[in-house]
Chain A
């Protein structure tokens, strides 16, 4: 049995500890966000966060994910209440087939959590490991910029408004 903490919840999974995290997330927990793109750590469709760091879940065996905080797309928001980064992507309509976008969102999220005001060059450099085949790159970059701008706003409003 392998224990994983995913999106804040503990799970005990009956899987071979060598199983890549990707399959545990998709098949054992029914989480659709992370996708199989290559299984080789080359395309990023499987990107999730482990302790806030963007990683390729296809090359992380569950045995290395034990005791760590795993965050998937589903941990950022729900279809009814998407999170700020997801909202930014939806607003920019930053998707064509959409298959790569959850990985993009996770990678962007990891960047924005540690560097809330990245430059365009920093965004491009950071997103380099993730592939998009439909050519949605320009919208993805716009969505990340929008997410960076809108992340701050709610916090500020809250601090000023509520006490």
Chain B
């Protein structure tokens, strides 16, 4: 490991898992730590069950977000348990049935759930072999597990179904597991086609939006014109009079309507909105003043890295500095959030695409004023969320309407404008960096500061649900909190992986939030990696060094060096080679959170001088995610991260005026479309068999932004330090 661990803010013992500070009460006092989520849920049968017919059920507390986690977890279980993948039924994220694994977030699924399942499956396999050994009077070592049965050397098969009788799987996992070596894999490490794709591409029900239970009603919510507006009068008659309308629900400033048909609900929503009078508003700063406003807000300051400058620094040193900004950006889920809720006999069941069914349940229970055992949250897929979008809020909306219509399943769908105007955003941030370059062309000293709101306002508490803050008896939002290192929020990846003799990193946490913000894919890492990697290029240029060579000169982590080298090689990075006019190449690297997957990205970008339009032509990435479970799934995720980050970096900023957000649809928040897709996107994987899983879902965002920015600088000679680097900004930098 290269970077020194922070002396301050370090918690002794295991890593603190982001968003899930559940007590490790299940952990035996003083015993060895169980791997992954087994730490919180050590019972084997919480993860795997086998019935008398040999049918296997796998349970995970994680949710399918479109990242392929269902398939990957099935592969892991199929491999270690030695059953055909198609024979396993998978149950995901359900407060009544699955372990509590907090949120499916932070690229933790493989590290937490995958690890737990792998160990549990391996231990279960061993238990089945031992049971067969008992029954057959043979040593366990002579038997092997194969395709759902324990097999003798002679070929006698004892199916798992025959072996489970009387086997108590409600037992704690052991600290050690007989994991299969990677060389023996037949399922893990293979590009198994995703199990959920065929249904999604042929119209079989796959999403929460596709649920249609008997008696279902359609609901819509009416939101205030902007946060802070209060309802002063309501004329609900027109909405109620519309044929097919079942009920108008009002609780304080919370307004919703339910109807038999969906179009009727939409019409009623509009009539209800037309009959509502609101007063007040958010009083936001002008967008042009955003960063001045942020810099003026009070902060809580933490030095997350404090390595003093070496005494020798200063001789022949050259100091450089830069500052970077990032606008608010939106999740922009393609399918606005939706939930189905039903109240039966005092128990509220919600089908929801939340990332955390357990925390959501706690928040809903608090909002409804009941114990959590009277609320059940079942994950059903939504469109990609990329973090904390409207999923939890719409669940609260649906629950409130369902409470008013006991017995009836209520499907509440947000409109596009509601998703855009009310989803928690990716926080606007500023960073500043100052470094000293020695006469030997190496960085001697490094000073970095990041300023940001929280990147986690997820529910666990009712006050973090939008509707709950609008009720007649409102809940107050939780006080904003920073996510401590080593995960970090706004300071995620603020500590560079490079070996700098002296380095200090300050996290200026801003509690006051002009706009509602929460977790968005990669959190602060997108901006921090962009800043660090852009500045590394500036330093390299000042040192007269090639950008890739400069990075390697400061990287001691062997795996980091490997991805940097691989990306450069596959890209065809030739130091000093000239490109055609209007073309530039750039490089970016980071290890996500300095503890998850490694990713290096090289990009060639074409910049049209006359218009400032930048288009990545070719992007080549190298990724090290430890033991790869599904190489195609991993590539899919990283390709997606590259293209999504390209969109963020070149186009995206949420517009707002003092009266509220004005980016309410795709015309006012344009994202990347097909004409701007790079001609080639390649992802090369470094496979590290028999090493721990490293989360890779968010590893590409930051390096891609940096690679693009550095390529634009190479093409135009102009540094773009403000995200997004729009066509207008690039043109302004280029000049006439």
Q: Which residues of A approach B to under 8 Å, CB–CB?
A: 15-16, 18-20, 23, 26-27, 30-33, 35-40, 42-43, 45, 72-74, 77-79, 82, 86, 89-90, 93, 95-102, 105, 123-125, 127-128, 130-139, 141
Note all chain B residues with C-beta closer than 8 A to A86.
201-202
Note all chain B residues with C-beta closer than 8 A to A90.
193, 197-198, 201
Any chain A CB within 8 A of the CB of B27?
A: no
Interchain CB contact under 8 A, B384 and A96: yes
What's the least CB distance linking B599 to chain A, in Å? 14
Assess A38 versus B416: contact at CB under 8 Å? Given A32-B206, A77-B202, A98-B200.
yes
Note all chain B residues with C-beta closer than 8 A to A43.
334, 666
Any chain A CB within 8 A of the CB of B383?
A: yes
What's the least CB distance linking A13 to chain B, in Å? 11
Tell me the nearest residue of chain B to A129, going by C-beta. Answer: B673
Q: Name 17 interchain pairs, CB-CB below 8 A, sorted by A.
A: A16-B264, A27-B218, A27-B261, A35-B207, A36-B413, A45-B335, A86-B201, A93-B632, A98-B197, A98-B200, A128-B673, A128-B674, A133-B332, A138-B639, A138-B643, A141-B674, A141-B677
Q: How far is the CA of A138 from the CA of B678 in the complex (A)?
A: 8
Note all chain B residues with C-beta closer than 8 A to A139.
636, 639
Tell me which of B198, B336, B381, B643 contacts A97 (CB under 8 A). B381
Tell me which of B196, B218, B262, B413 contacts A98 (CB under 8 A). B196
Any chain A CB within 8 A of the CB of B705?
A: no
What's the least CB distance linking B425 to chain A, in Å? 15
Tell me which of B67, B193, B647, B667 contacts A96 (CB under 8 A). B67
Interface size on B, residues (CB 8 A): 61
Interchain CB contact under 8 A, A73 and B639: no
Note all chain B residues with C-beta closer than 8 A to A95.
66, 194, 197, 200-201
Any chain A CB within 8 A of the CB of B641?
A: yes
Q: How far is the CA of A26 from the CA of B263 in the complex (A)?
A: 11
Beta-carbon contacts of B88-102 to A below 8 Å, as 1s and 0s? 000000000000000
What's the least CB distance linking B47 to chain A, in Å? 25
Q: How far is the CA of A39 from the CA of B667 in the complex (A)?
A: 13
Interchain CB contact under 8 A, A133 and B644: yes
Tell me which of A23, A39, A99, A131 contacts B415 (CB under 8 A). A39
Tell me which of A32, A124, A134, A138 contacts B205 (CB under 8 A). A32
Q: Interface of chain A, helix or strand or loop or mixed?
A: loop
What's the least CB distance linking A101 to chain B, in Å? 6
Interchain CB contact under 8 A, A97 and B334: yes
Tell me which of B202, B262, B334 contacts A99 (CB under 8 A). B334
Any chain A CB within 8 A of the CB of B681?
A: yes
Known: A43-B334, A99-B334. 9 other contacts (CB 8 A): A37-B335, A40-B416, A45-B335, A86-B202, A97-B382, A105-B201, A133-B671, A136-B636, A138-B681
Note all chain B residues with C-beta closer than 8 A to A39.
415-416
Q: How far is the CA of A38 from the CA of B202 in the complex (A)?
A: 21
Interchain CB contact under 8 A, B203 and A102: yes
Any chain A CB within 8 A of the CB of B665?
A: yes
Assess A98 versus B66: contact at CB under 8 Å? Given A38-B416, A89-B201, A134-B644.
yes
Note all chain A residues with C-beta closer than 8 A to B386.
133
What's the least CB distance linking B92 to chain A, in Å? 15
Q: How far is the CA of A139 from the CA of B638 in the complex (A)?
A: 12
Interchain CB contact under 8 A, A138 and B677: yes
What's the least CB distance linking B615 to chain A, in Å? 12
Assess A79 versus B383: contact at CB under 8 Å? Given A30-B212, A96-B66, A128-B673.
no
Tell me the nearest residue of chain B to A34, going by C-beta. Answer: B203
Interchain CB contact under 8 A, B203 and A33: yes
Any chain A CB within 8 A of the CB of B407?
A: no
Any chain A CB within 8 A of the CB of B135?
A: no
Any chain A CB within 8 A of the CB of B333?
A: yes
Interchain CB contact under 8 A, B67 and A16: no
Tell me the nearest residue of chain B to A81, going by C-beta. Answer: B202
